Structure 1
Amino acid sequence: MRAAWPAIAWYAALRGISLLVLWLAASDQNRSLLTILGKYDAIWYARIVTNGYDHVIPLKPDGGLATTNLAFFPLYPGLTALADFVLPGGARTAGIAVAWLAGLAAAWGLYALGAHLRDRRTGVILAALWAVVPHGLVQSMGYTETLFTALAAWSLFALLRGHWVTAGLLCTLAGLTRPTGAALVATVGLAALIAVVRRRDGWRPWAAGALAPLGLLGFVAWVGHRLGRADGYFHVQNDAWKMSYDTGAFTLKTVYSGLTKAMPLAFYVTMLILVIAVALLAVLAFDRAPWPLVLYAGLVVAMVFFGDGYFHAKARLLLPAFPLLLPIAFALAGARRRVTVVVLAAMTAVSAAYGVYLAIAWTYSP
């Protein structure tokens, strides 16, 4: 852990700069920083902590299905409930604290991956880069992105090191955190299958393959049992939250609309990030990065691109696709120190400024 401290410190410092800028802007608008960081999805999670999960899907006045907290996975609110026992300020404050601690764990995991692939400098830069992506604000909010990224980073690190059982257990926890866990389950599962076919490492790949999907499948089965129908979770996603997958038509149609008529800034930033994500994925593959990292990142990008609904949230949903930052980390690790400093300073400025926009000017979930 001692070797990871520079990465954790840089991550915390860069996030701290963005939070300081947001605090100054919020103060100018007479708004509370904690209230801002505990908005939107954070409210849903806090209500799960205080009131538990819905027993049925609530109905709108017209009889249609309303949104329900059964779409939200249980690990993060479970950890928030534990933190709420010892921290003052209520469930939303506890959720923010959990997200911050998970962010530090994620920075540590990213450092471990970067150092394993290249060297310690690469690990430090990778953690720093993730701190200052455009939607870095979300890492400081009561959201699940930091927790999931920490679990995914350490699971993939364990996988690359051949620690099969650890990779499977962490994948189980990631599957209890958010639906993006499906990308990690597929990656760990395929790696385990290949190892089994090649008769490597004895029983351990079998254990990893069996453990990996338990969290994700367990929650999906629980929601189905809760609602009394096998497809309960998908019913919640498709019919209550109006979220599904298509051939990419929704994403492409929205991009076309943005090119032919004026749309809010958040939509254009999301379009740009989607393009950059696809480009970085290609570079990652061409650089011959370890295939589990390429597959995991590719599946996350695919889930985001083919998702039908909430276009403005697609950039946030890409936050766990951290292997996309590896080509940039590799380049900066080989560059002169002054170049690295300038790039990170510029990215910090953009991330901090855009965080203010998302928190204050933008009126929807980031």
Structure 2
Amino acid sequence: MGHVRTARRAVAASWRRARTALLLHCGLRLIGIGMVAAWGHRKGVGLHEILATRWDSVYYLSIAEHGYSSPMVPACQEGGPTCKLAFFPLYPTLIRGVCAVTGLPADWVAWGMALAASLLAAWGIFAVAEKLYGARVALFTVALYAVVPHALVQSMAYTEPVFTALTAWALYAVLTRAWLTAGTLALLAGATRPSGLAVIAAVTLGAAWQLLPVTGGHGAEPPAVPDERAHGRPTARLYGAIVLAPLGWAAFVLWVGHRMHRWDGYFVEQRRWGSTFDGGTFTVQRLRDLFTQPALSLDDVVVAGTVITAIILLCTLAVRRPPAAVWIYAAALVLITVCGAGYFHAKARFLLPAFPLLFPLATALARARTTTVYAVLTGCAVASACYSGYLTMVWTHSP
């Protein structure tokens, strides 16, 4: 019971420290949601319809209500009759469970769950940033996360809010040496999105470093996280994290392979959707098109800018030498996004969970004058809100 009370006090203290940042985050997000609501109202479309029942949300709702076996209605334009097998199961499973308990419609449950997860994600991001750089940098990290170009997805019935929440708290668990918690959260993240490989890599490599024998002396690499070896090296928990972390991702991929009667069934389904790993050739070609093709959309420009900025920020983050697990996660997510072929218009969304990339910008804001801070956050909030309206009311593909 003593451990439970201690944990409750720690959670309460963390919430109190994060409260101001979370209020700021919610305020900034409301600007974007308000823009979409106003734009949708002018076109006769409700906010719930826009954010909870369109694009990829349709697949998650179908899986939640009918499972993977029933065909999509209407039929998938991409992916063929097994198209739903491209979508990982945790989010639709949670939707189904909450619907069974509450009796609420699946679309409302999916949207409400995403909104709650976005708040948990912002809290987790604050906790990680505060642990590394202090409360002021954490405040601005959460604020910037609320106004990135594709921030609207944080308020949609998509997997990104759930995935970011699981990832942020998994990294916090690594930083605080709660290895079994980190492994469990990585397991769940791996069952949420294919990019769960990034947090799996962060947790497993972070734990594996702690298991290396002490080389002692000079020239030894500094520990990736606060050193367990000074505290007796809880080997069982470290091995537990390494074993747990990949189970969610691996179990789903193996299950899809079994369903499709071939070991690489999941990757076959991804190819049917047009998603492959080409080492970055597709991304480079699309970036080159930015300078050679006259007909480009606003989305093309924003996504290209986001990808280039992410690479620059990753290099900047490396110079700042964060704990290895944090950098590994960010680097792996950027690698997966940049080196994947297909869906260029969604690459900025794929980078949304890469919140450690915001640390250098948040650090700069933390040192800036108050007038500069207000100008930057206000300008970014307005620009992000306008772009959110564009993505939902003008752009014809998934955000």
Q: Give a deviation string over 1:134-170, Cα, whole Å, max 9, x none.
A: 0011111110111101111110111011111111111
Q: Which residue of 2 aligns with 1:316?
A: 349
For the aligned residue pairs, the C-alpha RMSD in angstroms reads: 2.0
Match for residue 123 of structure 1 among 119, 127, 138 = 138
Q: State the SS of the aligned residue for 1:68.
A: helix
What is the SS of the residue equivalent to 1:365? coil
Distance 1:263 1:325, change over 3 A: same
Contact 1:54 1:70 in 2 (8 A): no
Residue 84 of structure 1 pairs with residue 99 of structure 2: yes
With over 3 angstroms needed to count, the CA separation of the structure-2 counterparts of 1:86 and 1:344, relative to structure 1, is farther
Compute the displacement of 1:253 (Å): 1.1
Of 277, 285, 293, the residue aligned with 1:253 is: 285
Question: Normalised by the size of structure 2, how large is the TM-score?
Answer: 0.87
For 1:231 and 1:61, locate their aligned partners in 2 and report how far apart those are by CA, in whole Å: 21
Tell me, yes or no, if the aligned pair for 1:172 and 1:216 is still in contact at 8 Å. Answer: yes
How far apart, in 1, do the equivalents of 2:166 and 2:380 lie?
Answer: 25
TM-score w.r.t. structure 1 length? Answer: 0.94
Q: Deviation per CA, 1:251-296, whole angstroms, max 9, x where unpaired?
A: 1111222321122111111111111101111110111222211111
Q: What is the distance in 2 between the residues matched to 1:327 and 1:231? A: 39
Q: What's 2:148 paired with? A: 133
The 1-side partners of 2:72 and 2:109 are apart by: 27
CA contact (8 A) 1:144 1:178 kept: yes
Q: After TM superposition, what 4+ stretches of structure 1 lie above 3 angstroms from structure 2?
A: 55-58, 64-67, 85-89
Deviation at 1:33, TM superposition (A): 1.1
Larger Rg: 2
State the shift of 1:56 in Å: 8.7
Tell me the equivalent position of 2:305.
272
CA distance in 2, matches of 1:127, 1:82: 30
Residue 365 of structure 1 is matched in structure 2 by 398
The answer to which of 82-91 and 279-288 deviates more is 82-91
From 36, 49, 52, give the equivalent of 1:22.
36
- Is 1:31 the counterpart of 2:63? The answer is no
- 8 Å CA contact 1:67, 1:241 repeated in 2: no
Partners of 2:166 and 2:91 lie apart in 1 by: 12
Kept in 2, the 8 Å contact 1:122–1:333? The answer is yes
Contact in 1 for aligned 2:71/2:81 (Cα 8 Å): no
Q: Distance in 2 between matches of 1:61 and 1:345?
A: 40
Identity of aligned residues (%): 42
- 2:40 counterpart SS class: helix
**What is the DSSP-based 3-state SS (H/G/I as helix, E as strand, rest coil) of the residue aligned with 1:117?**
helix
Higher mean C-alpha deviation, range 98-107 or range 11-20: 11-20
* Letter aligned with residue 289 of structure 2: S
Residue 67 (structure 1) shift: 5.9
Show the counterpart of 2:239.
206
- Corresponding position of 2:23: 9
Check the 8 A contact 1:242/1:309 in 2, yes or no: yes
- Is 1:161 aligned with 2:176? yes
Which of the residues 105, 125, 131 maps onto 1:110? 125
Unaligned runs of 5+ in 1: none
**CA deviation after TM superposition for structure 1 residue 105, in Å:** 0.3
